[in-house]
Amino acid sequence: METKVLIKYVRMAPRKVRLVLTAIKNKPAYMALSHLRFLNKKGARIVEKVLKSAIASAKEKKMDEDRIFVKEVRADGGPNFKRIMTRSMGRADRIVKRTTHISLVLGELSRPVLNHPKSSAEKPEVKAKKIRAGKKEEKTLKASA
């Protein structure tokens, strides 16, 4: 099962959006969202909104939240706005303001994604070594993922 979301006429060059989209391709949806939150790019804010919309659409289709992943992403060029900037000696330079159509497809895996932050599975115990004044002490801790 899959869900598709398309947003059109985004006022940003497709090349800039593709930089962000390659970072989230083939990742679980929750992991892709966390990556987008920490990317320092304008395109990340836009793609984050698109991904949230796709996740909401997937929930409406009764897809399992633990198994959703980013199956396909695309940034296609939309129509360009052409403007002219005057230059010296009667010349003119062309300014092209590009737009983008972003399409995002979410798919569903056959099994849940491991290490999902919302999973209720017990965390395994890990033995941590603590060095104190030259002596080694072992202490049992709960692993934090």
pLDDT in tens, 121-141: 444 555 555 555 555 555 555
Largest CA distance in the chain: 82
- In CATH terms, the superfamily for domain 2-110 is Ribosomal protein L22/L17 (3.90.470.10)
Transcribe 63-91 into DSSP letters: --GGGEEEEEEEEEE-PPEEEEEE-GGG-
For residue 140, list its beta bridge partners.
Answer: 127
CA distances from 20 to 24, 25, 74 (A): 7, 9, 11
Model confidence band, residue 1 (pLDDT cutoffs 50, 70, 90): confident
Q: How high is the pLDDT of residue 121? A: 47
Give dist(CA 73, CA 35) in Å, integer.
15
Domain residue limits, the chain: 2-110
- First vs last Cα of the chain: how many Å apart? 29
**DSSP reduced 3-state for 104:** strand
pLDDT score of 115 more than 90 = no
pLDDT tens-digit profile of 19-74? Answer: 999 999 999 999 999 999 999 999 999 999 999 999 999 999 999 888 999 999 99
